[in-house]
Structures are given as C-alpha cells and as structure tokens.
Amino acid sequence: MSESRANEVAIVGAGIAGLAFGLLLHARGIPCRIYERVDKIEPLGVGINVLPHAARVLDDLGLGADLEARAILARESAFFNRFGQLIYKEPLGRDAGYPSPQYSIHRGDLQRVLLDAFIDRVGGDRLILDAACIGAEQTGDEATLRLQRTSTGEPLPPASAALAVACDGVNSVIRKQLHPHEGKPNYIGFNMWRGVTRHPPILTGATMIRVGWLETGKMVIYPIRDDIDGDGNQLINWVAELAVAEQLDERDWNREGRLADFMPAFEDWHFDWLDAPTLIRSADRILEFPMVDQDPLPFWTKGRITLMGDAAHPMVPRGSNGAGQAILDAECLADELARSADHASALKAYEDKRLEATSRVVLTNRVAPPDILIKEIVDRTGDKPFDNIDDVISEAELAEIQRRYKEISGYDLETLRARAGL
C-alpha cells in the first residue's frame, strides 16, 4: 500500500538542489517531503562557488548570515598562464557591484546550512533518510515513488504525492527511467583531481585563481574557510585538470585519486605568489573525477515527474555554475507551483524556462568557460612567457570574454542589479 499525500511535493535527494527546493516550497506555503538514500548526511565533497544569481535566492531565504559565517566572500578573479604571469583580474561579488556576494564554500558547509534550515523550518519528520528511490511512476493524478531501505535493501512502502521532483544527481535513477536509451556521458578528454589544504592566504585571501591550460596542466584555487586554526590559515580548495588517455567510467565524486597520475605536470609550478606542488601534496585527501557532461535532454517532465539540478543538466565542472543552476531551477519551479494550481501548467512553464537556459550553459561549458581566455593567450603566445600582456591581448577583449559567459549563465551585472532595483 502506498501512502498518499496528494497535496505534497515529493523530492528525491537531499543535496543542494533538493534542500533548496524544499526550503523554497515551504516559503511559498507548499508542503513537501524529501527522500534521501543515505542514512546519515555527512559533509562530503570539497569546495564550490555560489555565484551572485544563486546567492540572491539563498539570501532571500534568510540564509545570508549563516553562509557568511562559514564561507569566504570572493572578492576577485585572477587568471594566470602556467608560468605564473598575470593575464587578467576582475572584481567579484559585492566588490563588483552585485547586490549579493559570491560564496566560496565547502560543499558540506553549504549543505549543512540548507539542512539545518530545512529541519528547523520544515521539520525533521519531512526528511526521510535511508530511503533510496528506485523508480517513479504516474498513478492517476499522483506520482508514486518506489523506495527501498539503502542499508538493508528491504522494500519500503511506496510514497505518493502530487508531484515527484528528481534531485538525485548525476547518476539519477529517474533520469534513466525517463530516458532509458540516453547515451553515455560525453568525455572531453580531461580528468580533474581535487583537494583541500590548510594554507596561509594566497593573494588577497579572497581570490579565485585560475592558472594554466588543460593540455599541459591547469589549476583552479580558492579559499573556502577563513582562519581555521587561530593562526590565520585558510582551508584552500584546489582543482588540478589534465588531459589523460583513459576515461573514468564511474562518476563518483568521492573516488580516491593518486598523485602519480597528475603531479608531474605541476612539479615546476613555483611562483613568487604560489608553490603549487606544496599546496597539492599538503592535502589530506585527493579525489578524482572525469570532466564529463551529457547532451541536453529533449524533455525533463513526464506527467507529474520532473528533473532538477544535476539530474536534469549535468555539466562539465567549469565556470562554477553547477550548484547555481540547480538553485535557480529550484526557485523557478517553486515560483511556478505557487503561481498556478494547475500542476501540468506549472511543470510546463518550469521546463520552458529552465531547459533552454541550462542547455546553453551546458554547451558553453564545453567550449567557452570563463577561463577560455587563458587558452586564447596560450594560442597567441605559442605557450611561451610574455613580456607585456597588453602586447598580446587588450583588456577590453578579456573583459568581453567574461561578459559573454556571465550573460549566458544569467549573472551579468546589469541584469542582477536591475532585478534588485538598483
């Protein structure tokens, strides 16, 4: 027997998308329940960025103070070639004039802020742990989740609701059900290795750094916790990216990585502002993940079942946009459900607005993420040091590359300031 909750929204997954969606529904007076496969939510992962368009959503939920207490408010973005030479620098977040900041934060800290708020506002009884969704189906005017206990494999009673929203990540069960013949993820020829290191502040202590290019080695470096030991050290998130011959078949964010597989590319990265080998080797743990995405889907919704976040639009992890687009999905669907009692109309409006928008980001991340400007310098200089960057490219050209990505991703300064009435 399934338990019917005809007025509720059933959310599959208590990650960033699922928890944000639950909070947004609650704020609009719409009941929901989250079904999460793990029996205990642990602070997994490493660092992520919440860009100003998504930070606005979280700030509107009243989470800004909690996030600021745990995150670094990013102040600038800096791009370097693999010789440590500065190519371009620009302000970020509030320093750039945005109404909301850019949060650089440990994924576990962001999830904890969302989780604590969900339990406090919505109720702990609305979060069902150790309940893996193994499928969903349309049952008349309801959607029904088929569930099993993750820890034992025993079946649980099905759960019915007005809608089922799959926020179950890149390996989404419901995505596979809606699109059983979808091809394998697209691999762009590079793997990424990630870690966090206790380290003194680098540059401003609030700088998002991108160095080098993929063929010869690229790094993304930014702080995610401040003054972690009373001595002024930060927790620094770093990502190393490199071309590899073999693709990883499994998309597991917690797969252990090996120094030997990528360290040689970065051994000589000793700059006056960074000793990259020391930063990498000082990490407690190294994780490996393939740089993959999946082609945009023709549809997300079937009946009363739909997709959200990484389940809907897994993208190459470039541009700091995965979490942000998931949060924008959540706001859009919550708004549509609050606007219309007709669930079919709300789901259609959500898909019409978000499928096309996120498809543009997915496709842009493949070929022209923000750090594509480093590739431009590599091509123009023959991957050699330069004497003067102005002789290679103008600052206006560099700024235009950044502006285009922000516009595609929905966080160009003019749009967000206009939305805030500024």
What pLDDT, in 10s, does the model give residues 128-172? 999 999 999 998 889 999 999 999 999 999 999 999 999 999 899
- The pLDDT value recorded for residue 252 is 67
- The pLDDT value recorded for residue 253 is 64
Backbone angles phi, psi at 53, to 5 degrees: -65, -40
Averaged pLDDT of the chain: 93
Could you tell me if residue 217 is inside a domain?
Answer: no
Asked whether the predicted pLDDT for residue 336 surpasses 70, the reply is yes
Asked whether the predicted pLDDT for residue 409 surpasses 90, the reply is no
In this prediction, residues 166-184 reach a mean pLDDT of 94
Asked whether the predicted pLDDT for residue 338 surpasses 50, the reply is yes
Could you tell me if residue 55 is inside a domain?
Answer: yes
Q: 422 pLDDT band (50/70/90 cuts)?
A: confident
Could you tell me if residue 357 is inside a domain?
Answer: yes
Asked whether the predicted pLDDT for residue 248 surpasses 70, the reply is no
- The pLDDT value recorded for residue 190 is 85
- The pLDDT value recorded for residue 185 is 84
Q: How far is CA 180 from CA 97, 298, 300, in A?
A: 45, 13, 13
The model's pLDDT over 80-93, given as tens digits with 9 standing for 90+, comes to: 999 999 999 999 99
- The pLDDT value recorded for residue 302 is 96
- The pLDDT value recorded for residue 1 is 41
Could you tell me if residue 16 is inside a domain?
Answer: yes
- The pLDDT value recorded for residue 250 is 63
Range of the domain at 153: 3-73+104-183+297-367
**Which one-letter DSSP state was computed for residue 266?**
G
Could you tell me if residue 204 is inside a domain?
Answer: no
Order of strands, edge to edge, in the sheet holding 103-106? 47-50, 103-106, 72-73
User: Residue 186, SS3?
Assistant: strand
Asked whether the predicted pLDDT for residue 13 surpasses 70, the reply is yes
Asked whether the predicted pLDDT for residue 368 surpasses 90, the reply is no
Could you tell me if residue 240 is inside a domain?
Answer: no
CA 112 to chain CA centroid, nearest Å: 15
- The pLDDT value recorded for residue 274 is 96
The model's pLDDT over 207-229, given as tens digits with 9 standing for 90+, comes to: 999 999 999 999 999 999 999 99
On whether the CB atoms of residues 217 and 82 are closer than 8 A, the answer is yes
Could you tell me if residue 219 is inside a domain?
Answer: no
- Give the chain's radius of gyration (CA, Å): 22
**Which one-letter DSSP state was computed for residue 15?**
S
User: Residue 413, SS3?
Assistant: helix
Could you tell me if residue 262 is inside a domain?
Answer: no
In this prediction, residues 45-51 reach a mean pLDDT of 91
CATH number of domain containing 329: 3.50.50.60
On whether the CB atoms of residues 116 and 23 are closer than 8 A, the answer is no
Total tally of structural domains belonging to the chain: 1
**pLDDT > 90 fraction of the chain, expressed in percent and rounded:** 79
